[in-house]
Amino acid sequence: MAAGNGKSKANSATKGTAKKQAPAKASATKSRGAASDKDVPPDARSRAALLATSLRHHDTLYYQSDAPEIPDAEYDLLRRELVALEAAHPSLLTADSPTQQVGVAPAEGFETAPHRSPMLSLDNAMNADEMRAFDARITRMLLQDTETGDRAETPPDLTLDYIAEPKLDGSGIELIFKNGRFVQGLTRGDGQTGEDVTTNLHHVPSIPKTLATDNPPAIASVRGEMILPLAAFEQLNKGRVKRELRPFENPRNAAAGSLRQIHDVDYERLGSLEFRVYALEEGRPESFLRQSETLELLREWGFIVSPEIAICRGVDEAIAFHEQLQTLRGELPVEIDGTVFKVDTITEQNVLGTLARAPRWAIAFKFPPEQAETILEGIDFQVGRTGAITPVARLAPVRVGGVTVSNASLHNQDEIDRKDIRVGDRIVIQRAGDVIPQIVRVRLDRRHEAFKENRTLQRQSLPAHCPVCNAATLRLEGEAVTRCANLECPAQLKTNLTHLASRSALDIDGLGGKLVEQLVNAGLVSRLSDLFALDEERVLRLERMGEKSAANLIASLDRARKTTLPRLLIALGIRHVGATVAELLADHFPTLDDLLAAPPEAIAAIEGIGPTIAESMSRFTADGANRAELARLTELGLVLEEPAPKPTGADAQANLLEGLTFVLTGTMSRARGEIKKDIEAAGGKVTASVSKKTSYVVAGEAPGSKVKKAGDLEVTVLDEAGLLTLLGSD
């Protein structure tokens, strides 16, 4: 048994022969909410709900989008607060709580497969006292009488051997070998099921294709961390800057993102990755009694094992090792953010066992966030793919966490105002979790120095006009983000074009990210509608574009001209308008003209939409530039097909769900679109949000906050089997 060395909020831990296992997920028939404990104060209940929602949001950003918004230290504080609330009020602890989950469900677009055994997480120690408490806790457990559970009156002295491994900041991976040959590689996913990234992993040089042994096990499940060494990270970023591409923010995101590419695979990045092994979950010789022996075997088989690994005799040696590793952190060739300590003896691991989310026999001892002081020289504004305008602090360069930092994230105007951040301030920054550094606080006590040093302190507000296209910016009520709503904004154009070509939108075969980059850089496309003005002659001007490829692209564009209103709405990338909302809008407004003429209150009146979506949609349709773009698309041959007729009573199943409203959440065994069609074919309706009018919430794996809301509103929650029963298909 072995625990992982990656990010502690999802460190892989293997299950082994544990005394306790994770509770099985029940098929919910009625959401119980948290009402069973009437003694829970309302503020505790609301705080727990807010924390759970926030943690799910950040889990999705980290595991699926590879784009964390907050550092590890901030995430750990949120999670610890929720753990404390659930401990104080047990009825707040639910099976779908983020404290009981590992990772998130695999993203759509990948084939998935179950892990040979769960890839679990690790608990954290933030200081030496917590490390000593961990050691004392598991020592007491090991000294208990295994039959009675009682401790001996005079317990013998027990000093544990710990194997210490650097806590790598990468992406957890499981590799499957059959008879010594590499056959499958999976991402962590939700800990039970991962994304099959075998094809991409074949391009990672440090993964052996065959094990270097004459006597391989029939099945070997190897766990490890996929990382991007710092030298390779810097080299890749130099190349991206030369190609006028945005550099990667940190090695962890660059590594994880390369594994999860389906189209336009970056083979250079894959070839730069390094796989470091930390566990042999299946296939370990029975004679092996220690984790350290297992790592040595894996090294002999051809895997890379972190060279810093050591055996520590007792907790004092473990703490000393951790402190020494922290001093060497800036000199290592890879990013680490702590030390993972595991009980080295396998029999002791088995006695200690595993809880729902993490093993008892391992812990991640985190480094404290690294901080430094510098001067805020200015604030720049970047425009993201959805038009979000993000302020970025421009700093006097300072060394922190082993690297020189000249920029820091500011997130939004609210953070600038809350921290009273002014250009010219002396500030404290930190690299916690090794993401883009953040401003921790302003040195208000040193503001008087600014005048002595001829630094003028200036308040800063987000711009009223987009810094890229000069279009007016907007901030919707209830949102923290200021946005550019101009579809033609060059900062958004490339991403929007890729989105428009995606399968759920206009499904333009062959139009991937690299081709979009070429079209925009060559000046052939400066707004969405320009795609449909392309011809073979102009496309052939592109570098390395052959006649056949050009003809195929034009043919794909011709096919895409005939589409449906929902697909068009998805393709336009309107804020808050996804597949479900697009279908709802098309159900109520059969033609584009009907939708363009609809006032905000008519859109908001649609069940499942609400005021926020209605305002976003109305702002889009009221914009003259957006209307002109839609008109040009029509001029260039875009045709919207008539909606398919609704099922009638002629079908025996058509009225089974008549009058019932459903909301779908979580990862299903089938695409949500297929499930939605089944519900509608039986006379039911699918909406985007839970309300008192909702009849059922259908929850798959890793459901979101909609399940909690269903509990609050006493709405019945079904699993997929329950839905099939309603459909008469069980």
544 φ/ψ angles, rounded to the nearest 5 degrees: 60, 25
Whether the per-residue pLDDT at 604 is higher than 50: the answer is yes
- Give the pLDDT band (50/70/90) at residue 155: very low
Burial of 689 (0-12, 13-18, 19+ CB in 10 A): middle
Whether the per-residue pLDDT at 161 is higher than 50: the answer is yes
Coil vs helix vs strand at 198: helix
- Give percent of the chain with pLDDT exceeding 90: 26
- 125-366: CATH topology: D-amino Acid Aminotransferase; Chain A, domain 1 (3.30.470)
| Nearest to 405, CA basis, from 369, 443, 425, 434 | 434
Residue burial 133-162, b: 16+ Cβ < 10 Å; e: rest: ebbeebbebbeeeeeeeeeeeeeeeeebbb
Rounded CA gap, 367 and 611, in Å? 44
User: Distances from the Cα of 111 to the Cαs of 107, 193, 196, 260, 701, in angstroms?
Assistant: 9, 10, 6, 11, 16
Rounded CA gap, 416 and 356, in Å? 40
Amino acid at 230: L
- Give the pLDDT band (50/70/90) at residue 558: very high
Q: Which of 15, 167, 708, 709 is an active site residue?
A: 167
pLDDT digits (tens, 9 = 90+) for 267-318: 888 889 999 999 999 999 989 999 999 999 999 999 999 999 999 999 999 9
Whether the per-residue pLDDT at 580 is higher than 90: the answer is no
**In the structure encoding, which two tokens stand for residue 394, read together?**
């421009």
pLDDT digits (tens, 9 = 90+) for 62-87: 655 555 556 566 667 777 788 888 77
The 8-class DSSP code of residue 242 comes to H
716-718, strands of its sheet edge to edge: 685-687, 661-665, 696-699, 716-718
| Most confidently predicted of 264-268, 325-329, 499-503 | 325-329
Whether the per-residue pLDDT at 469 is higher than 50: the answer is yes
Q: Where are the alpha helices (DSSP H) in 329-365?
A: 346-352
- 370-459: CATH topology: OB fold (Dihydrolipoamide Acetyltransferase, E2P) (2.40.50)
Do 370-459 and 661-726 have matching folds?
no
User: Distances from the Cα of 66 to the Cαs of 161, 166, 171, 249, in angstroms?
Assistant: 35, 22, 10, 10
| Most confidently predicted of 211-220, 443-452, 582-591 | 211-220
Contact yes or no for 229/206 (Cβ under 8 A): no
DSSP-assigned beta bridge partners for residue 351? none
Q: For the domain covering 490-640, report its CATH number.
A: 1.10.150.20
| pLDDT at residue 350, rounded to an integer | 92
User: Distances from the Cα of 64 to the Cαs of 86, 189, 327, 376, 472, in angstroms?
Assistant: 26, 8, 33, 33, 32
Whether the per-residue pLDDT at 646 is higher than 70: the answer is no
| pLDDT at residue 154, rounded to an integer | 40
Whether the per-residue pLDDT at 404 is higher than 70: the answer is yes
Report the mean per-residue pLDDT for the chain. Answer: 80
**In the structure encoding, which two tokens stand for residue 654, read together?**
């058509």
The stretch 38-55 carries a mean pLDDT of 78
Look at 458 and 361; give whichever has higher pLDDT. Answer: 361
The stretch 109-127 carries a mean pLDDT of 84
pLDDT digits (tens, 9 = 90+) for 234-254: 888 888 777 766 677 678 878
DSSP-assigned beta bridge partners for residue 196? 186
Contact yes or no for 372/398 (Cβ under 8 A): yes
Whether the per-residue pLDDT at 419 is higher than 60: the answer is yes
Whether the per-residue pLDDT at 479 is higher than 50: the answer is yes
- Give the pLDDT band (50/70/90) at residue 18: very low
DSSP H helix total and E strand total for the chain: 25, 26
Whether the per-residue pLDDT at 325 is higher than 80: the answer is yes
| pLDDT at residue 654, rounded to an integer | 56
| Nearest to 34, CA basis, from 710, 663, 703, 689 | 710
Name which of 222-236, 360-374, 375-389, 620-634 the model is least confident about.
375-389
Q: What is the DSSP string of 673-716?
A: HHHHHHHHHTT-EEESS--TT--EEEE-BS--HHHHHHHHTT-E
The stretch 398-402 carries a mean pLDDT of 72
| pLDDT at residue 37, rounded to an integer | 54
The 8-class DSSP code of residue 53 comes to H
Whether the per-residue pLDDT at 436 is higher than 70: the answer is no
- Give the pLDDT band (50/70/90) at residue 672: confident
pLDDT digits (tens, 9 = 90+) for 140-153: 999 875 444 554 44
| pLDDT at residue 15, rounded to an integer | 37
Q: What is the pTM of this model?
A: 0.50
Distance of CA 218 to the CA centre of its chain: 34
Rounded CA gap, 654 and 681, in Å? 6
| Nearest to 305, CA basis, from 221, 210, 206 | 206
pLDDT digits (tens, 9 = 90+) for 274-285: 999 999 999 999
**In the structure encoding, which two tokens stand for residue 730, read together?**
């069980």
**In the structure encoding, which two tokens stand for residue 212, read together?**
């270097």
Specify the CATH class of 661-726 in words.
alpha beta
| pLDDT at residue 480, rounded to an integer | 72
* Residue spans per domain, the chain: 125-366, 370-459, 490-640, 661-726
Please confirm, yes or no, whether 167 is among the known catalytic residues.
yes
Rounded CA gap, 419 and 586, in Å? 44
Name which of 46-60, 168-182, 623-637, 682-696 the model is least confident about.
46-60
Whether the per-residue pLDDT at 133 is higher than 60: the answer is yes
Contact yes or no for 134/125 (Cβ under 8 A): yes
Q: What is the DSSP string of 529-551?
A: GGGGG--HHHHTTSTT--HHHHH
| pLDDT at residue 279, rounded to an integer | 94
Rounded CA gap, 526 and 111, in Å? 35
Cα torsion through 612, 613, 615, 621, rounded to 10: 170
Rounded CA gap, 193 and 256, in Å? 17
Whether the per-residue pLDDT at 193 is higher than 80: the answer is yes
